[in-house]
Chain A
Amino acid sequence: DAMVIQNPRYQVTQFGKPVTLSCSQTLNHNVMYWYQQKSSQAPKLLFHYYDKDFNNEADTPDNFQSRRPNTSFCFLDIRSPGLGDAAMYLCATSVSGATTDTQYFGPGTRLTVL
């Protein structure tokens, strides 16, 4: 089945230790998104890729970076995680980003920062 896969499902890191979360898709969608979701809150868009074009949200901290080496894979790098970065990180894809597009979400990676 075509899907969005995130690894790992749970990630524990230490304060200040870089961490990379990965996302892959078999849907061949052009757009890939990274969201941060804190407990009992709405998902908040960090950035997205349209094909190879990277688009950062204005309020996304510099501590967060992303890479998309090919259509299928996208990575979220947190250079120096702080306690406030503990959250669920959701990857999503859509065909083109049109307003009628459905976003397809992965199961998420729960990040714990010690």
Chain B
Amino acid sequence: SQQGEEDPQALSIQEGENATMNCSYKTSINNLQWYRQNSGRGLVHLILIRSNEREKHSGRLRVTLDTSKKSSSLLITASRAADTASYFCATLPPGGGFKTIFGAGTRLFVKA
């Protein structure tokens, strides 16, 4: 079964607006990661947040983690057309291992 579920499935906004994507997961985690995928390309790592962190920033990205609700959000501020992509949250099962579970992804479209 899929560990991460994301909403919305698709999001269309104007350039300059903020975009918020949410991810929920089912089991306990050590950390949660966000990846971006441009159309027809591989995934690119954006940010990692550990289970003992509540918020993390990287440039225009802000990630929050609520382990009590088993959810995370990714906020992209002042969006640009180049941010158009799919965004996936990813988790690993407790104790490590190699099976990263990706959420279904949010497809973001930023209109210029």
Contacts and interface: CB of A to CB of B under 8 A. Distances in A.
B104 A42 contact: yes
A43 B102 contact: yes
B99 A99 contact: no
Interface residues of B, number: 26
A105 B88 CA distance: 14
Contacts of B41: 107-108
Chain A contact-residue range equals 20 to 34
Contact of A48 (B40, B44, B98, B103): B98
A57 B99 contact: yes
B59 interface: no
A31 interface: yes
Contact of A102 (B45, B50, B88, B107): B45
Given A99-B30, A102-B48, A45 B100 contact: yes
B48 A107 contact: no
Nearest to A45: B99
A42 B42 contact: no
A50 interface: yes
Nearest to B33: A102
Contacts of B105: 40-42
B81 interface: no
11 contacts: A42-B2, A42-B4, A42-B88, A42-B102, A43-B43, A43-B88, A57-B99, A92-B43, A102-B33, A103-B43, A105-B42
Interface of A: 4, 6, 31, 33, 40-45, 48, 50, 55, 57, 88, 90, 92, 97-100, 102-108, 110
Given A31-B98, A40-B107, A97-B97, 8 more contacts: A42-B104, A42-B105, A45-B98, A45-B99, A100-B48, A102-B48, A108-B40, A110-B40
